[in-house]
Amino acid sequence: MNPFESIKNNPSVDIVRLSHLEIPKIVVDYWHWKQYSWSVYRLPNGIKVMSDRQMGLLVGQSKLDVSNFLKSNGLEIIKVELPNKMQTHVYPLSVAAIYLQKLLNKGRLKLHRLKLSNDEWLSLITALCNPVRDKAVTPNPYFFTGDYRVTVAKALPIQFENNISLEVLVLRSGEYRIEHREGLKSISSNPGWLVQYSPSKAKVFSRLKLSTDTVECRIITDKEIRSMYALSLDDWLSVWEYFANKGNRKATSLLKACAKENIDSRVSKLINENQHD
């Protein structure tokens, strides 16, 4: 059986409907960065979000341009109830960061009314990615500047030799990926290594020939949706080799285990076993 047989083929994910939650009610609020502030909405849990109109004011694009960007990239959408009882869709501030990064990469922020430098735009993007606490949670914007895509995934735990375990993500396309922190925790390395906003780290990633694309994987259950960023298996082999060459014994053990039986084969076996249970 295909592990995604029960998941609809529509790539647009309605977070509220799939997680069986009531439509949250929002209130008007503001989000501040340095001397600037923008109107936003606040969810009951305190998280700040933006409508396409509010995002347009931030990124300097029309509401139509924003809507087209959001639809074409399948970015996270949340259905909410406004103070006037009407319903609308809003987006996490991190989505605005993704849009700004795209515009910055294409040189389309030079005419923005704020007249910020590239470093200032990156600082704003970083703040939008992490609006609650000063802790990186999204991929390093100095390197991950390629395409952005969202996909549904199923998580499968894989056990290796020497007490090493990994949660492998099986994408709807059949591709296997591993979440950013998961692949580093498995070798007892800094789980934030891939998300630290560092130009020097970006140079390391470039030497390792990692993909610059950002892939957001969503694991959907009856109770929640887990969202995470993940690298391909080939990218992880390069990362583990990098750490193994620096003396990381767990990375060396993991590479030896993969040489004995690769991750693709291990996942396929586990899926087949689950089908016969």
* Domain extents in the chain: 15-129, 148-276
pTM: 0.60
Quick check: 158 and 166 in contact, CB under 8 A? Answer: yes
Query: By C-alpha distance, which of 267, 76, 23 is closest to 168?
Result: 267
- The predicted pLDDT at position 131 comes to 59
**Residues 124/104, Cβ–Cβ less than 8 Å:** no
Amino acid at 224: E
Position 138 pLDDT exceeds 70: no
Question: Of 161 and 231, which is predicted with more confidence?
Answer: 231
* Class of residue 123 by CB neighbours under 10 A (exposed 0-12, middle 13-18, buried 19+): middle
Q: Is the pLDDT of residue 141 over 60?
A: yes
d(CA 94, CA 128): 5
Q: Residue 251: what pLDDT?
A: 95
Q: What is the arithmetic mean of pLDDT over 115-121?
A: 91
Nearest to 194 by CA among 158, 240, 155: 240
Q: How much is the average pLDDT of 46-66?
A: 90
Number of H helices, E strands in the chain: 10, 10
Q: Could you read off the pLDDT of 59-82 as tens digits, one per residue?
A: 999 999 998 888 887 776 788 888
- The reported pLDDT for the residue numbered 15 is 36
Exposure b/e, 14-29, CB count within 10 A at least 16 = b: ebbebeeeeebebeee
- Structure confidence at residue 134 as a pLDDT band (50, 70, 90): very low
Whether residue 7 is predicted with pLDDT greater than 50 in this model: the reply is: no
Rounded to an integer, the average pLDDT of 175-179 is 95
